[in-house]
Amino acid sequence: MTYTVKELYVTLQGEGAQTGRRAVFLRFAGCNLWTGREADRHRAVCTFCDTDFVGTDGPGGGKFDCAGLVAAVEAAWGPGPDHRLVICTGGEPLLQLDRALIDALHACGFAVGVETNGTQAAPPGLDWVCVSPKAAAPLALTTGDELKLVYPQPLAMPERFEGLAFEHFFLQPMDGPAREANTQAAIAYCLDNPRWRLSLQTHKLTGLP
């Protein structure tokens, strides 16, 4: 299997229940809900994406086989053996992440997390699953560690998801021209509905990648 990677770097997890934790971010290229081209955004299934996931031209990006990708993740993390964490994102990581890569990362001491739109089944062995449903896309993955809903999406309001089998439920204000209003709306929802917690994209506040 050849993995197509947009970028690969160390940062702190900016979102959700693991916010602040050191991690290698492994951003796979490509997504099933948008081509990534601005010209196609208006007709995409997911229209609010904040990420460039096209190609392999980011820092640490490229085409890798399994051993090469694990070596790149290890080199990015550095020598310390403890608390190793790699977060697979994209684009849509579950279009590429497979059991062989998860097993090989585990063998090097990494816990493996994923940020997914939930349209694909997850391979076995993941240590942390964050599902972020998109209004116009059928949800295939209805269990996991955290459900992180970008808010507001009029056709995907929180009530639709709170019965699912997740440990944590987060609202993340939709970034874009209405970010401030969306943040206030998410705060108001969490104040009224204590099942839900606020997830701010803290890397955008601090300038981390």
Ligand X SMILES: Nc1nc2[nH]cc(C(=O)O)c2c(=O)[nH]1
Ligand Y SMILES: C[S@@+](CC[C@H](N)C(=O)[O-])C[C@H]1O[C@@H](n2cnc3c(N)ncnc32)[C@H](O)[C@@H]1O
Q: Which residues bind ligand SF4 (CB under 6 A)?
A: 31, 33-34, 46, 49, 51, 53, 90-92, 117, 134
Q: Based on CB atoms, which residue is closest to ligand SF4, 84 or 144?
A: 144
Distance from C-alpha of 146 to C-alpha of 159, rounded to nearest angstrom: 15
Does 31 participate in catalysis according to the annotation?
yes
Does 53 participate in catalysis according to the annotation?
no
Task: Select from ligand SF4, ligand Y, ligand X, none the partner in contact with residue 34, using the beta carbon and a kind-dependent cut-off of 5 to 8 Å.
Answer: ligand SF4
The conformation of residue 59, written as its DSSP 8-state character, comes to T
Q: Which of 115, 141, 161, 196 binds ligand Y (CB under 6 A)?
A: 115
Q: Which of 15, 92, 145, 146 binds ligand X (CB under 6 A)?
A: 15
144 to each of 44, 127, 178, 181, 194, how far by Cα in Å?
A: 26, 10, 29, 29, 19
Interior/surface letters 110-134, b for 16+ CB within 10 angstroms, e for the rest = bbbbbbbbbbeebbeebebbbbbbb
Q: Based on CB atoms, which residue is closest to ligand SF4, 119 or 183?
A: 119
Cis preceding-peptide flag for 152 (omega within 30 of 0): yes
Minimum distance from CB of 204 to ligand X (Å)?
Answer: 8
Minimum distance from CB of 89 to ligand X (Å)?
Answer: 3
Does 50 participate in catalysis according to the annotation?
yes
